[in-house]
Amino acid sequence: MSSLLSVSDIKDDVKYILDLASKIKAGEMEEKPLEGKTLAMIFQKSSTRTRVSFDVGMYQLGGRAIFLSSNDLQMGRGEPISDTAKVLSRFVDGIMIRAIKHSDVEELAKHADVPVINGLTDLEHPCQALADMLTIKEHLGDWEGKKICFVGDGNNVSNSLLLIAPLLGMDMSLACPKGYEPNEDILKTAQEYADDNNTEITITDDIGLALQNVDAVFTDVWVSMGDEAEAKQREIDFAPFQVNSDLMSLANDGAIFMHCLPAIRGQEVTAEVIDGPQSVIYDEAENRMHAQKAVLYYYMKD
């Protein structure tokens, strides 16, 4: 059964899915293509955008979504993930899971007989990456020849961006403190994609180098869910990597600012930037729903 656990799972169909998202957003697709379909949504972590966008997206596609927190499932009382996967597969047509550990999502997909969609793990956030790419095309016209830069932690968001950027013909740089580099396996795969598509990937702690010729600047919170014990040290280590007006001035004229949200103004980004004219964060948030509707159509349409 085909599932979306990583950007790599759709490496040959990324452009198709994004084109589908654009058509769905423009109202150019059939109405209610998932009528009669049900999506189970499992949440091990709290959520605003993921929960609402998948729920509303399924409704708009003609189907329905069922919200299941860890407390609602026997998984929370020790039932094996494999049993949950097999049982849910008898009831629903797809499963979206926002999980703490990526290995849990892999285990769920291994035993499910319906598509499993990664709504976020500690390793990747593929749905966010798709929404980001849809937003870039809307604001910058195309992907080919553009360069994006992620400033901050080599986390799940930056991991998925590293994979998707070269697949769309974009260069990418990641400016992060030493010790906060992205996952080594992800980086290796991303470099292979870059080599295949004649694009460049740069990982550096030199902010000036990372921001050269950049068309879109990304950041994320310094302390993700699960990293709270490291909060004080992270605030120290990431302080020089705050996205402010001086940092944005290093990017190209007309560069846009992006953030997956939630954001902490005054920490990873200043209010001047996130609420300023270069920011496209609310378009980016809205596009979570349109990109995910395309994913749901791609995986759940008969």
Residue 226 has a CB neighbour count (10 Å cut-off) of 11
Catalytic site residue from 260, 278, 290, 292: 260
> Is 50 known to sit in a ligand binding site?
yes
> Is 267 known to sit in a ligand binding site?
no
> Is 149 known to sit in a ligand binding site?
no
Task: Give the C-alpha separation, 35 to 20, whole Å.
Answer: 18
> Is 224 known to sit in a ligand binding site?
yes
Known catalytic membership, residue 98 = yes
Query: Residues 241, 264, 127, 136: what is their CA dihedral angle, to the nearest 10 degrees?
Result: -60
> Is 125 known to sit in a ligand binding site?
yes
Known catalytic membership, residue 292 = no
Catalytic site residue from 44, 111, 122, 128: 128
Exposure string of 184-199, with b = 16+ CB inside 10 Å and e = fewer, is eebbebbbebbeeeeb
> Is 234 known to sit in a ligand binding site?
no
Known catalytic membership, residue 51 = no
> Is 90 known to sit in a ligand binding site?
no
* Position 119, amino acid: G
> Is 8 known to sit in a ligand binding site?
no
Known catalytic membership, residue 265 = no
> Is 242 known to sit in a ligand binding site?
no
> Is 156 known to sit in a ligand binding site?
yes
> Is 118 known to sit in a ligand binding site?
no
> Is 48 known to sit in a ligand binding site?
yes
Cα–Cα nearest to 8, from 172, 165, 170: 165
> Is 259 known to sit in a ligand binding site?
no
Catalytic site residue from 51, 102, 111, 125: 125
Known catalytic membership, residue 149 = no
Cα–Cα nearest to 205, from 163, 154, 158: 154
Catalytic site residue from 51, 98, 111, 290: 98
Task: Give the C-alpha separation, 103 to 208, whole Å.
Answer: 36
Known catalytic membership, residue 220 = yes
Catalytic site residue from 220, 234, 242, 259: 220
Q: Are 291 and 125 in contact (CB under 8 A)?
A: no
- What are 5's two structure tokens? 């656990």
> Is 127 known to sit in a ligand binding site?
yes
> Is 279 known to sit in a ligand binding site?
no
CA dihedral sign of residues 51, 56, 57, 59: positive
Binding residues for L-ornithine: 156, 220, 224-225
Give catalytic residue positions. Answer: 98, 125, 128, 220, 260, 288
Binding residues: 47-50, 74, 98, 125-128, 156, 220, 224-225, 260-261, 288
Binding residues for carbamoyl phosphate: 47-50, 74, 98, 125-128, 260-261, 288
